[in-house]
Homo-oligomer: A and B are copies of this chain.
């Protein structure tokens, strides 16, 4: 099957934003065994979009349009496609109810143009938008299928995972099943992972192994085709074992929507441990990340943001003389922050984050220097030093993830 992706949006044409959704869709289609031969961008212009549709129809079986499903006058993908397909626009009741609920909940006035977001061409299958208000659509003709997805990346990705992928899988009607499994790694770069696995990746055809670098982590998507789900699962299990034999040290979990923090919170729950933290350069980001996980309150009650030296002394009762003697960016301070916060909150585990986010150096230490202190139950607290590269935001994010990584490995051992 030949697919083509048309991204709609004048902001793309002007280069105001970078088109990250087309490569996302292209990768997902590759996983489904669908070939993409053409990608294009057209502005918010009905005539040029119609031309693009006409051309696509001459050369592609599956035509995917992204963007232009919103409420403004610029958004005219649905209208243009409906006209092209000779179908009226109709309202999708579940989507309409979702939009009305949104405005009711916020006690805000719904303007008439918002109704457009619940519309789709008649005879199309509506695709739920779990992250926004504009409904998507899938429409089949005798020779083609048209898939309409929203433009904002978080909406497109959420709709693709929940609604579009299953519809495309059914449409491909492969006599075979296609089963994927995502393995997640932290602490190893994509190039190192791929180099270590190069022989395996080159030899492997079923399942295929597709590496993908995300911010500060790498995932491998394994996709097996087989006549039954059970056979596909066996193929996946065998390859997973081969991969983990080589890079298992960096593996922390699996699943598309998984994350290091979810794994760590689950470990803490399972081991009935509570956690707290005192944060300097991360300034609350570690604790906030713990609270990203629904139900984190069973393991996390609170903690400290101690940005200045004075507040490290005041809130955590660390002697000022100690802070001045060792420096705030030191193993000693990270350990004191971890153990004092643990003690003050009466928690099982305390974490301390101190370092230089940048751009400027601090206490003669370069930007990117980070000490993470860990105080575990019945163990001497310790700290590790890291040297992260990247800008201020990136250094802070890496510090948070490395804190979780440290915990993950400690809790894996303590469980044994």
Query: B-contacting residues of A (Cβ < 8 Å)?
Result: 10-20, 22-30, 36-43, 45, 48, 55, 70-74, 101-102, 105-109, 111, 113-114, 131, 152, 154, 189-192, 194-195, 198, 201, 210-213, 215, 221, 279, 281-288, 290-292, 294, 296-297, 300-308, 310-312, 315, 345, 357-360, 368, 387-389, 391-393, 396
Q: Given A41-B40, A285-B288, do A24 and B15 touch, yes or no (CB 8 Å)?
A: yes
Cβ-closest chain B residue relative to A55: B55
Contact at B13–A36, with CB atoms within 8 Å? yes
Which of chain B's residues have a CB closer than 8 A to the CB of A194? 71-73, 113
Q: Chain copies in the assembly? A: 2
A-B pairs, 3 with minimum CB distance: A284-B284, A15-B26, A283-B291
CA distance A295 to B26 in the complex (A): 41
Which of chain B's residues have a CB closer than 8 A to the CB of A215? 154
The minimal Cβ–Cβ distance linking A8 to chain B, given in whole angstroms, is 11
CA distance A305 to B310 in the complex (A): 18
Contact at B18–A292, with CB atoms within 8 Å? no
Contact at A307–B301, with CB atoms within 8 Å? yes
Q: Given A291-B283, A393-B292, do A305 and B303 touch, yes or no (CB 8 Å)?
A: yes
Contact at A39–B41, with CB atoms within 8 Å? yes
Q: Given A37-B48, A305-B302, A305-B303, do A288 and B294 touch, yes or no (CB 8 Å)?
A: no
CA distance A108 to B288 in the complex (A): 30
The minimal Cβ–Cβ distance linking A251 to chain B, given in whole angstroms, is 18
